[in-house]
Amino acid sequence: MASIQESPTPAAQAVPPVLSKAGAAGAEPGHARHASLASLRPARKPGWLERLFPPRRPTLVLDPARCTGCGACEMACSARDGGPARPEAARLQVLRDEGAGGNFAVFCQHCLDPLCLAACPQQAITRGKDGIVRIDSRLCAHCGLCVAACPEAAPRRVDGRTVKCDLCDGEPLCVAACPQGALSFSPGKSVHWIKYLRWTVQTLAFLLLVVVLTGAVCSLRVAGWSLACPLGVLQNVFSSKTILLTSLAAGLVLLVLALLAGRLFCGWLCPFGFLLDLAGTILPRRLGEKLRLPEVMRNRLAKYGVAGAAVGVSGVVGYQAFCAVCPIGTVCRSYGFQSTVAGAEFSLIPALALLEAGEKRSWCRYLCPVGALLGLCAKVGLLKISIGAARCKKFSCMRCASVCPMGIISENDLREGVSPRLDMAECIGCLRCVDICPHGAAVIRFAWQKSTPAERRGPAPCGGCAAGPAGREGGAA
Amino acid sequence: MTTNGTTHGVWALVRLDTGSVERAAWPVGLEDETGGLGGAAAGVRLLARHPEALVLACGPLTGVAAPGTCLLVATCAGPDGRPVHTPLLLRHGPALKAAGVDFLVLEGRAAEPALLTVEHRAIRLGPARDLAGADVFAMRSRLRARLPDARPSLLLCGPAARRGLACAAASLEAGQSLDRGLLAGWLAAHNLLAVILAGGGSLPGPASLDTPLFAALSPQHGPAGFVEVLGWYGSGMAVGSPPGRAAACHLCPRPCLAYLPGAAGSAGAEGGVLCADHAGYAALAAALGEAAPSALHACSRFGFDALALAPVLAGRGGEDPAGLCAAWAEGRESLPAPAPAPEAGAPSAPEAWAGGRRAAGMVLGICPILMQRCPEVLLDLWTAGRWTGETLNSAIAAAGLNAT
Amino acid sequence: MDAEFGPILAARSAGLCVECGKCVTVCPMAEMYPDFGWETSPRGLVQLALRGRELLAGQGLWRCTQCEACTRTCPAGVDCCGLVADLRPLARAELGGEPAAEAVCAMCGAPLPPAPVLAYLRRALPQVPLEYLDLCPACRRERYIRNNS
């Protein structure tokens, strides 16, 4: 103890004994403004090319219906580096539910924007060009903050070291070891065919509705059949105080479509929606935070208010009031061969398109009264999107939530491990979630079907095996 | 390190009365006596040294990275003094071995209800007063709530055994073990309500999975769902639809266990049951038909042996099995003594063959069901372990099992 | 040197510190806290511990993530990480468990990282609701099972 008592050094004496946060700057100027490692990392800014053709996201996929909890994956994983097998040290962990027999596995999702990466003070976690999120063991201090930051605690602390799945660089041993085929490796989709189909349909619809049949969305009359914007019809009824059955029927067409297939019109056909999607793809994302609707307007009920106001004002002023400013109608009437561009009408479009850099489809989420009418029908409609209960990995996968343009898939629900419930009045049926889910957990279902997708049966049956001899395996001698 | 590097060469003696724990190298001579094997053979040899004890013994292949290596054998002396073996499936064997112990010998009677935790670096005896009045489901959920994570394997002594009833069985997790009375009786008699096998260390033996062995096994083994294995226990029996989701023991390529989910409103509402006891379920199905799942729930809840209880329940006709089991376990009604099992004649040739396979599994630490289904592939395991047929037969004989 | 401090300093070989600063170069706290300085660095914590009890009142002890990088790297054999772990109970008693008290898991009550570390996490992660941060890893999985079976 004597040596400890006699040890104060000159440096220690020079430091004021009072501890305070602010004191640090004065105490040692060299440390106060040290360069942070975080400043060395370039911010992740996906270019438009990367957004159009997103990189692969490799991941493990678990089919819980097939998992029997035998633990072969853990054994294979823990023995990967040649050491003895130790299931507790494996990078993926099998969870066995003794009550219902539902087995799950927790493993790294290799997120697009990993929370562990954001939390790592040593910048030791990187996302490689191959999409695999790795811990660089040369930089890792094994502080365990990634474990705390991950919603499913997928990185693990084992004997003071932090380990994490790196997918065995694309050939995972756990997948090879799984005797039931419950684990599989998905290299990530390279062709998202729903996406390309949607863009094609949207482009064709734009060309058809805007360029060829100018103004077709507002009203279209072909050989005795007529089609009209439901909101326009409604305004017309109130402004003219007369009900024409033919125009009502024309307005009902889109509503019936919404009853059958949700707001399919918004996601796949609406020419203004197409422009917004295009703007969202092209606009640089760094504009995002600044360009948002003010907080008061960001209320999903606002669009019903807009619809009500449009109808009410029409009744008072005697003409279709909203149609004067309607961006959908403006787009429809602006580009075609018989275009009638009006400056005041047109000014709304770039403003709304700019919002795409921030929140996607802000117009459709909060303001569009046509979408509001369609949404009311879609709510009681035939179809729904179900983000599945059992197959969905939840926690940190977030693929569906990150692509949803309407922002209706609750990231918080997913992080909490709950199946998110989708409000079909808000869903525009773009199917981005269905397209991107590697687990097959986002599916289209009829409204009355249960949310949980059907599970595949367990082990494949194999015939031709004679029954063994009868006997009790409890071999009491 | 001993045989083939697949065991630790360590055993532990726990005295339940004093709480003392002694870890030591294998006793001198044990390896020679068992031909380097373990499991049931080692259990008998250790029982000879500690006649009143309960021995939990891993085989040399228990926990090795090969198919079906899940078995832990519990051995204690029967009423006639001869050793009786109970195979414990699931992950109990690897969990004991991962705790760094091959054989666990429990001796003496705890003064008050006790609970034994076997971990990588510590074997601890603790009080279990709060478990004393609980049924198996409640015991499981209370223990789980207390354990830091959900991984440890549990061996529980249910209310039926604590009451000293004839048809008691020990419970693995919330299912039944293949115990036909003695293991549960031993635990109850020695006041040990729960054994928690927490593992935590590494398993000895070859580290990487022998995937060719897995691949070779699957086609040979054929279907091994719960229903398929159930089919062995009698033809033409109405078994009904598959009872639940498939579950497998440690590293088993062909899951034959099933979870029976807890039915709302029934006795098992808190949780499901793991059906590990095919013979028991088959007996219940034959005796009760449609009511078999709920009867199994009741058996699991109170720790009854389904096989032994099935004729008793059948004798009570249409009464609710859950209510009956509760009445017996809570002492409101006395359990009629089950009819003694008919004296078994000489086994037929296939039965004797299967018995030998099962015996080999009990000595090696491999699932007895798997051993019956695909011995040819598993023979590779023995040769890899340099065990010949003679060593195996002598070990089986040493274990008092029927060899062929 | 009082009776509580002495044995801890001796057990963790604090007296061997030569102030080389290797621990500071590996310490993740340097990246976590913008006001990282001598007195909150591992070296500073060891030196302040050698000088007496003032250390217990400060924030410094509670910023450590217990990663043991300093202990692994120390050429003199000081177990700085262990020293912090041992001093925390003393500091807790000194502070009455109040300002820098560790949070506990909302479900099982297991200790979570101390408040400054959690505050760093909330700063570093995106500004979205992260309710799972007050659960320990085991309970996150427990909840996963409960919500999914």
Interface size, chain A vs chain C, as Cβ–Cβ contacts under 8 Å: 180
Residue A206 has pLDDT above 80, yes or no: yes
Residue B171 has pLDDT above 50, yes or no: yes
Q: In this structure, which topology does domain A382-446 adopt according to CATH?
A: Alpha-Beta Plaits (3.30.70)
Of all residues in chain A, the one with the smallest CA distance to B65 is A75
Domain ranges (residues) in chain B: 226-329
Higher pLDDT, B36 or B107: B107
Residue B17 has pLDDT above 80, yes or no: yes
Q: Please give the Cα distance from A187 to A169 (Å, whole number).
A: 11
Interface size, chain B vs chain C, as Cβ–Cβ contacts under 8 Å: 9
- The distance of B145 to chain C (nearest Cα, Å) reads 8
Amino acid at B64: V
Average pLDDT, whole number, for chain B?
A: 76
Decide: residue B28, CB within 10 A, 0-12 exposed, 13-18 middle, 19+ buried: exposed
Q: Minimal CA–CA distance to C23: which of C46, C53, C54, C50?
A: C46
- Which region among A102-106, A390-394, B254-258, B309-313 has the lowest average model confidence (pLDDT)? A390-394
Higher pLDDT, B184 or B332: B184
A439-448 confidence digits (pLDDT tens): 777 888 887 7
Number of other CB atoms surrounding residue A343 within 10 Å = 6
Place of tokens 């800014």: A45
Highest-scoring range by mean pLDDT, A342-351, B69-78, B384-393, C137-146:
B69-78
B71-115 confidence digits (pLDDT tens): 888 888 888 778 888 888 888 888 888 888 888 999 888 888 888
Q: What is the CATH number of domain A50-186?
A: 3.30.70.20
Asked whether the beta carbons of A357 and A280 are under 8 A apart, the reply is: yes
Q: Average pLDDT in the A254-263 region?
A: 86
B193-218 confidence digits (pLDDT tens): 889 988 888 887 666 666 666 666 66
Q: What is the CATH number of domain C5-95?
A: 1.10.1060.10
Which secondary structure element, helix H or strand E, spans residue A379, and what is its range?
helix A369-379
Cα end-to-end span (Å), chain B: 31
Asked whether the beta carbons of B74 and B106 are under 8 A apart, the reply is: no
- The distance of A198 to chain C (nearest Cα, Å) reads 30
Subunits adjacent to chain A (3 or more Cβ pairs under 8 Å)? B, C
Contacts of C135 in chain B (CB under 8 A): none
Give the model's pLDDT for residue B263: 54
Token pair of A300, please? 């999903």
Which secondary structure element, helix H or strand E, spans residue B355, and what is its range?
helix B349-364
- Which region among A41-55, A201-215, A360-374, B8-22 has the lowest average model confidence (pLDDT)? A41-55
Residue B385 has pLDDT above 70, yes or no: no
C positions 107-126 inside 8 Å of A (CB): 112-113, 117-118, 120-121, 124-126
Give the model's pLDDT for residue A13: 40
Using a CB–CB cutoff of 8 Å, tell me whether A294 touches chain B. no
CA angle A158–A160–A166, rounded 5-degree value: 50
Q: Please give the Cα distance from A199 to B116 (Å, whole number).
A: 64
State residue B25 phi and psi, 5-degree precision.
-70, 160
Using a CB–CB cutoff of 8 Å, tell me whether B150 touches chain C. yes
A7-34 confidence digits (pLDDT tens): 344 444 443 443 344 444 344 444 444 5
Amino acid at B316: R
Give the model's pLDDT for residue B381: 61
Quick one: what percent of chain A has pLDDT higher than 90?
Answer: 1
Cα end-to-end span (Å), chain C: 57
Q: Please give the Cα distance from A15 to A6 (Å, whole number).
A: 17
- The distance of A266 to chain B (nearest Cα, Å) reads 42
Domain ranges (residues) in chain C: 5-95, 115-148
Higher pLDDT, C1 or A376: A376
Same fold across A50-186 and A382-446: yes
Contacts of B235 in chain A (CB under 8 A): 467
Quick one: what percent of chain B has pLDDT higher than 90?
Answer: 0
Q: Could A115 and C1 be called an inter-chain contact, meaning their C-beta atoms sit closer than 8 Å?
A: no
B-interface mutation test, from A67, A74, A92, A98, most B Cβ less than 10 A away: A98
Strands, E assignment, B60-190 = 72-77, 83-88, 103-107, 114-119, 123-127, 153-156, 171-172, 175-176
Asked whether the beta carbons of B286 and B234 are under 8 A apart, the reply is: yes
Q: Average pLDDT in the A155-180 region?
A: 86
Using a CB–CB cutoff of 8 Å, tell me whether C1 touches chain A. yes
State residue C88 phi and psi, 5-degree precision.
-60, -45
Of all residues in chain A, the one with the smallest CA distance to B214 is A179
Note the helical H segments in B99-238: 136-146, 159-162, 182-189, 211-221, 226-231
Of all residues in chain B, the one with the smallest CA distance to C140 is B149
Q: Average pLDDT in the B25-53 region?
A: 78
Amino acid at B106: L
Q: Please give the Cα distance from B169 to B161 (Å, whole number).
A: 7
pLDDT < 70 stretches in chain C: 1-2, 96-102, 127-129, 147-149
Q: Please give the Cα distance from A318 to A333 (Å, whole number).
A: 22
Q: Please give the Cα distance from B393 to B387 (Å, whole number).
A: 10
Give the model's pLDDT for residue A23: 40
Average pLDDT, whole number, for chain A?
A: 75
C positions 9-68 inside 8 Å of A (CB): 9-10, 14-15, 19, 26-32, 34-41, 44, 47-48, 50-51, 54-55, 57-60, 65-68
- Residue A393 β-bridge partners: none
Give the model's pLDDT for residue B239: 54
Contacts of A461 in chain B (CB under 8 A): 223, 225
Q: Please give the Cα distance from C142 to B107 (Å, whole number).
A: 35
A positions 173-192 inside 8 Å of B (CB): 173, 176-177, 179-180
Using a CB–CB cutoff of 8 Å, tell me whether C80 touches chain A. no
Q: How confident is the model at residue B228 (pLDDT cuts 50, 70, 90)?
A: low
Give the model's pLDDT for residue A201: 92
In chain C, count H helices and then E strands.
9, 0
Backbone φ/ψ region at C88: left (φ over 0), alpha (ψ -120 to 50), beta: alpha
- Which region among B59-68, B186-195, B216-225, C136-145 has the lowest average model confidence (pLDDT)? B216-225
Q: Could B354 and A96 be called an inter-chain contact, meaning their C-beta atoms sit closer than 8 Å?
A: no
Residue A455 has pLDDT above 50, yes or no: no
Of A70, A76, A467, the CB nearest to B249: A70
Alpha carbon B316 to chain centroid distance?
29
Q: Please give the Cα distance from B310 to B167 (Å, whole number).
A: 10
Q: Please give the Cα distance from C148 to C135 (Å, whole number).
A: 18
Three-state DSSP state, B195: strand
- The distance of A107 to chain B (nearest Cα, Å) reads 16
